[in-house]
Amino acid sequence: MTSGSGEAPPERLQKVLARAGFGSRRVCETLISEGRVAVDGAVAELGARVVPGRSTVTVDGVPIGTLPGLVYYLLNKPRGVVTTASDPQGRATVVELVPRAPRVFPVGRLDADTEGLLVLTNDGVLAQHLAHPRHGVEKEYLAELESSPSPGDLRRLREGVELDDGRTAPAKASLVGERALRIVIHEGRNRQVRRMCDAIGHPVERLVRVRIGPISDRSLRPGEWRHLSPPEVRSLSGSPGAGSRS
Ligand code: URA
C-alpha cells in the first residue's frame, strides 16, 4: 500500500532490516542498539521509522535495499544468451530465463559466448553498490584456452597485462589442466578475461564464470536459476555482518 504521494508508508527500521535478510527482528534490534545502522547518514535509534525507497539505510556503512518485494536470482547463463533485457537481433536474453514478475535486471554482464553465474535483481541499491569499482567483488572464471600458457604467461596475468583501455589489476591465475586456466579478477571491464588471454597469446575457446564473491553453485545447470539466500545477498553487499561462504 502506498500513501497519497505514491511513497510507501514509514516502517519500523527493524522490520526493514529483517526483510533485507539481517536476521530476526530481535537480531535486527541488536544491530540498531549496537549503533551499526544509520538512516540518512545518522546513527539510528531503536524505534526509528524509515520510508522504504526514500530513506537511505546502511548497515556497517553498506547501503541496503529497503523496498518490499526485492528478489535476487542466481542464474547459470548458457552460452548464446545475451545479458540484456531485450536484444535487437532477437537472441534469447537472460531475463527470459527467470520469472517475468517482478521485473529484474542483470548485475554486471557476461558476453553472449560466456557461460556461468549471473545475479539478477530488482534491487537498484545492491546493483549500484556492486557496479562501483571500489567494491570490486572477485569473480572467478574457468577458461579453456587454444594453447597452453607458460609459467611466464601466467606471471603476466598475475602482474597485470597492458590492454587498449589500460593495464589490468593483478589477477590470480593458475593452470588446472594443460589448457585450462582458473583466473580471478575483480575489475569488470568489457571482455576482460578474453582480452587478457589474447594479450598473452592464448585466446579463450570457452569461458565459464564459476564464482561471484563468495557465491558459487556447482549444482546449478546451464539455464537454471535459484533464489539467493539472505546471507548470500548480504555477503554480496560486502557487509561485515555477513558470513563468508568461500
Ligand atoms: N571476461 C570476459 O572476457 N567475458 C565475460 O563475459 C566476463 C569476463
C-alpha 241/C-alpha 246 separation (Å) is: 15
Domain around 157: 138-212
Grid cell in block for residue 169: 589489476
C-alpha 210/C-alpha 201 separation (Å) is: 23
Mutate to test the pocket of ligand 1, among 191, 195, 211, 212 (most ligand atoms within 8 A of CB): 191
Structure-model confidence comparison of residues 147 and 90, the more confident one: 147
Is the model's pLDDT at 75 over the cut of 60? yes
Is the model's pLDDT at 244 over the cut of 80? no
CA 161 to chain CA mean position, Å = 24
Supply the pLDDT for residue 238: 65
Tell me, yes or no, whether 154 and 170 share the same domain: yes
19 located within any domain:
yes
Cβ proximity of 221 and 76 under 8 Å:
yes
172 located within any domain:
yes
Band of the pLDDT at 6, cuts 50, 70, 90? low
Structure-model confidence comparison of residues 244 and 219, the more confident one: 219
Is the model's pLDDT at 245 over the cut of 70? no
Q: Which of 182-186, 235-239, 240-244 has the lowest mean pLDDT?
A: 240-244
Q: Which residue has the cell 579478477?
A: 185
Mean pLDDT along residues 83-93: 89
Is the model's pLDDT at 95 over the cut of 50? yes
Tell me, yes or no, whether 146 and 203 share the same domain: yes
Centre of ligand 1 from the C-alpha of residue 193, in Å: 5
Mean pLDDT of the chain: 89
Mean pLDDT along residues 119-138: 83
C-alpha 140/C-alpha 219 separation (Å) is: 17
Return the residue whose CA atom lies nearest to atom 4 of ligand 1: 191
Centre of ligand 1 from the C-alpha of residue 106, in Å: 14
Grid cell in block for residue 5: 504521494
Supply the pLDDT for residue 229: 85
6 located within any domain:
no
CA 152 to chain CA mean position, Å = 31
Band of the pLDDT at 246, cuts 50, 70, 90? very low
Centre of ligand 1 from the C-alpha of residue 165, in Å: 15
Number of domains within the chain: 3
Tell me, yes or no, whether 117 and 147 share the same domain: no
